[in-house]
Structure 1
Amino acid sequence: MKLILRALVILLVLFSVNCSDDDDNSGNNQTANFPCVNGFANGHPCNGFDLMSHIPIDVLGGDGAEGNDSWGWTDPQTGKEYALVGTSTNAAFVDMTDPANPVLLGVLPTATVNSDWRDIKTYNNHAFIVSEAAGHGMQVFDLTRLRNVANPPETFTADANYTEFGKAHNIVINEDSGFAYAVGTTTFSGGPHFINIQNPTSPIAAGGYADDAYSHDAQVVTYNGPDTDHTGKEILIGSNENEVVIVDVSDKDNPVQISTIDYSNIGYTHQGWFTENMEYFLLGDEVDEIDFGINSRTIVFDFTDLDDPVFHMEYLGPTAAIDHNGYVVGNTFYVANYTAGVRAVDISNIASGIMVESGFIDTYIPNDNTAFNGAWNIYPFFASGNMVVSDIDGGLFIVRPSE
């Protein structure tokens, strides 16, 4: 009888350990290393955000590296979440399924030389990486390789290289159509360069659009917003230095401008993002804080009629830090705000002209000056609620709203 009881106890212990291991691998372990307590998380000013973990920039990119853009990927087979972090020397791939204990799996070195600018997007389980490094083109990396890294960190090689352009400032992907749009290249006057990536490792040049000259950043969507004249069309919204342009790129051989719009106190029309209902477009101007001495500013356009977009409102943040990249998730606008870190803004009353900051975590501790330090980009789209923050000086921060 004692032997039977002992065997039952051993089985129960083994079952408990296995369940615990499954929980760890599922990404449900959301205990922060540094919760936000009394306004600080490991010395970082915060309100409503916890610091899960941090990997310094020299670990990701080597001595002297700086951070830049970032994105995320969720493995559809395992549910694991990965941070894809650009540095001046490489692209770094981090398993953040356990966000308090992230693992650097490896790096993909720059295709040519180092650069302060590197941008990453994903489609069909592949990463597409561009840089302003001369002759860099577009690297393609099969993300499913991250499932089988035996001795991290590894140094990877690309699965394909697209060389129809040299440098590019940014890359945009419409995952619905399977087309990528490289912007700020040496082709099409710096306008969007179209690439068919439906077969990710065999990208095909598909034309471009040069009529509105240089495009610094863009968002491309298969449109399902309130303007029924354009339902189902592939629409590009370009942030083009001194204006916003709306272009129908459904026919790659014949892209057609729909409209353009500018605004007061233009410094540098940098990057923007639709609200989820596609009624409003939230734009960041990168140097208006420098040129006009104002606080961080988000300009909001009413895009109910794509043929006649109109200015709706502007939102001024609590600091004079420079706003960089911003994204919308539900009723929250998340902004990488350089020296002021990540800012979360409630946009549930945007139709009434009301936007209110709901939380923040500052990844750059020294100050909130109007300067090019701190948070470059965020990726707020993981189902877990964890967020990637790529910081120029600090590297990778994993944060999440406090419970």
Structure 2
Amino acid sequence: MRRPTRVATVAVASLGLLISATTAAAHPTHKEGEGKAAGFDLVQEEISPGGVPQEPMSDLRCEDGMAGDLFPCHKVDVASFTPLKDLGDSIWANDVWGWTDPQTGREYALAKLYEGTAFVDITDASDPVHLGVLPAAAGGSGNIWGDIKTYDNHAYIGSEAAEHGVQVFDLTRLRGVTSEQDWTADTRITGVGQSHNLYVNEASASLYVVGSTRGVTAPGCADVYGGPIMYDLSNPGQPELAGCYGEDGYTHDIQCVEYEGPDTEHAGREICVASNEDTVTILDVTDKSAVDMLARVSYTTAAYTHQGWFTEDQAYFLLGDELDELTGTVDSTTTYVWDLHDLDNPVLRGADGSGNPSIDHNIFIKDGLAYQSNYTSGLRVMDTWKAEQGRLTERGFFDVYPNDDETKFAGTWGNYPYFESGKVVVTGVEEGLFVLEPRVKSSGEFGKK
């Protein structure tokens, strides 16, 4: 259930329509034939709906606004493209994460597929090596929604498949592997059935399972309605239940940090910002048996509060709303810049519109740059140096869906920008895995290092 207290509604761009999410759906859906699953037809085309041939590509430099003769771009090169047919002959890709082997320095993309999870060695960015697929749990039941996060050389893999749980995989098993293999999970968290997203706070060795509304058997967590279910990763191969929280209903996505930001009242606490369908909800989860809600705020253009990320100084939170473009509460791809100088009183500093009609999806921040997977308009790289003004500046982009930039659920789902090499891996849902090499820097302090 939701607590009807401490809710602030903020006006943005003179739009006065507040759309509240009234159901705890695990993802946006509309009439039959609409929503994210509308284009999912269990078919792998020779050329994707976005116009990308199912053939490997490599070493396409972005010049004069194009990479090769196919991909619109700006300052982002293609090191390689691996089509779905070469990722275990998959039919759909969703989220993606990465892992660097601390012993060998080799870099791996972990691509979530309908069928399971693909492991791809991208150390040689121009010549990636597919190492095989870990099949989905629950008898191999596929699903178009899934998520992956890593901690201490382990991958944690969730899915919307009803009985999937969370797979745990020891990534050091990839060490020395040079060809496609068959894989099995090391263990599985079964206290949840399905889940929508995962998050790992490495600083506290904590795993957050969110959007789990079916098959929850973790003790005391059956009535959290999709709120965070928290696990201790002190022993990364054997997660232990640490607590759960359901006082604000369904959580679609979450980010948690050891707080070192400007609000000194909360210094040293573990703080989460949850994207809860119609609100941004701030939680103190230091004591996972007694979670404290600090604030819960909405905004006038809210349609589906989806996902966001702290800036590195923890002073701002960049938020994407997955349905505001589609429902027309905004005119173009919009990123909401929340000022978190006072965690008990978040302020919407601005709503930055890109001018592009595409739907925004997942946002991650590194070195002052926000890497945004924006469906049909592809990966957009935005400079956060003017966040205090509620503004972002586009520094580069790569369009994985060259046919159009329409307001629909197609194109890129997720990205991972945290490799020390500077590579960024990006998934196209009906295309495959792109390994990109941006040539951009922030104008702020990070870009000057």
Q: Same fold by TM (over 0.5)?
A: yes
Q: Which residue of 2 aligns with 1:86?
A: 112
Amino acid at match of 2:106: K
Q: Which residue of 2 aligns with 1:120?
A: 148
CA distance in 2, matches of 1:95, 1:287: 35
Do the aligned partners of 1:235 and 1:248 also contact (CA within 8 Å) in 2? yes
SS of the residue 1:250 aligns to: coil
Equivalent residue for 2:286, pick from 243, 250, 253: 250
CA distance in 1, matches of 2:168, 2:188: 6
Do the aligned partners of 2:337 and 2:391 also contact (CA within 8 Å) in 1? no
Do the aligned partners of 1:35 and 1:51 also contact (CA within 8 Å) in 2? yes
Please state how far the C-alpha of 1:354 moved relative to its aligned partner: 3.0
Do the aligned partners of 1:61 and 1:88 also contact (CA within 8 Å) in 2? no
Please state how far the C-alpha of 1:328 moved relative to its aligned partner: 1.2
Richer in helix (by share) = 1
Q: Which residue of 2 aligns with 1:13?
A: none
Amino acid at match of 2:206: F
CA distance in 2, matches of 1:358, 1:57: 29
For 1:13-92, list aligned pairs within 5 A: 33-42=59-68, 43-63=70-90, 65-92=91-118
CA distance in 2, matches of 1:262, 1:133: 30
CA distance in 2, matches of 1:359, 1:178: 34
Q: Which residue of 2 aligns with 1:342?
A: 379
Equivalent residue for 1:388, pick from 409, 425, 433: 425
CA distance in 1, matches of 2:390, 2:163: 45
Do the aligned partners of 1:67 and 1:395 also contact (CA within 8 Å) in 2? yes
Between 266-275 and 178-187, the greater mean CA deviation after superposition: 178-187
Please state how far the C-alpha of 1:237 moved relative to its aligned partner: 0.7
Q: Which residue of 1 aligns with 2:188?
A: 161
Q: Which residue of 2 aligns with 1:362?
A: 399
Q: Which residue of 2 aligns with 1:9?
A: none
For 1:4-403, list aligned pairs within 5 A: 33-42=59-68, 43-63=70-90, 65-112=91-138, 113-149=141-177, 152-186=179-213, 187=222, 188-292=224-328, 294-402=331-439
Do the aligned partners of 1:61 and 1:87 also contact (CA within 8 Å) in 2? no
CA RMSD in angstroms comes to: 1.2
Please state how far the C-alpha of 1:243 moved relative to its aligned partner: 0.2
SS of the residue 1:33 aligns to: strand
Give deviations 1:348-394, integer Å, cap 9, x for gaps.
12223332111100011111000111110010111111101011011
Please state how far the C-alpha of 1:148 moved relative to its aligned partner: 2.7
CA distance in 1, matches of 2:431, 2:172: 27
SS of the residue 2:326 aligns to: helix
CA distance in 1, matches of 2:305, 2:256: 17
Give deviations 1:14-67, integer Å, cap 9, x for gaps.
xxxxxxxxxxxxxxxxxx61001221113110011001100111221425x211
CA distance in 2, matches of 1:50, 1:282: 25
Give deviations 1:243-282, integer Å, cap 9, x for gaps.
0100011101111101111112111000000000011100
Do the aligned partners of 2:76 and 2:437 also contact (CA within 8 Å) in 1? yes
Q: Give me the TM-score of the superposition, normalised by structure 2.
A: 0.81
CA distance in 1, matches of 2:341, 2:84: 42
Paired residues, number: 370
Give deviations 1:334-353, integer Å, cap 9, x for gaps.
10000000001112122233
SS of the residue 2:59 aligns to: coil
CA distance in 2, matches of 1:198, 1:389: 30
Q: Give me the TM-score of the superposition, normalised by structure 1.
A: 0.90
Amino acid at match of 1:156: W
Larger Rg: 1
Between 393-402 and 130-139, the greater mean CA deviation after superposition: 393-402
Between 184-193 and 242-251, the greater mean CA deviation after superposition: 184-193
CA distance in 2, matches of 1:202, 1:347: 38
Between 37-46 and 111-120, the greater mean CA deviation after superposition: 37-46
More contact order relative to length (CA 8 Å, sep ≥ 6): 2
Gapped regions of structure 2 (runs ≥ 5): 1-57, 214-221, 441-449
Amino acid at match of 2:115: T
SS of the residue 1:351 aligns to: helix
Structure 1 consecutive aligned stretches of length 4 or more whose deviation exceeds 6 Å: none
Do the aligned partners of 2:369 and 2:381 also contact (CA within 8 Å) in 1? yes
Give deviations 1:160-215, integer Å, cap 9, x for gaps.
11100100001011001111000000241100001112212211112200000000
CA distance in 1, matches of 2:355, 2:73: 13
Please state how far the C-alpha of 1:294 moved relative to its aligned partner: 1.6
SS of the residue 1:205 aligns to: strand
CA distance in 1, matches of 2:88, 2:276: 30
**Percent identity among equivalent residues?**
46
CA distance in 2, matches of 1:350, 1:165: 37
SS of the residue 2:62 aligns to: coil
CA distance in 2, matches of 1:300, 1:263: 11
SS of the residue 2:155 aligns to: strand
Give deviations 1:202-249, integer Å, cap 9, x for gaps.
111122000000000000111110111111111111000000100011
Do the aligned partners of 2:271 and 2:286 also contact (CA within 8 Å) in 1? yes
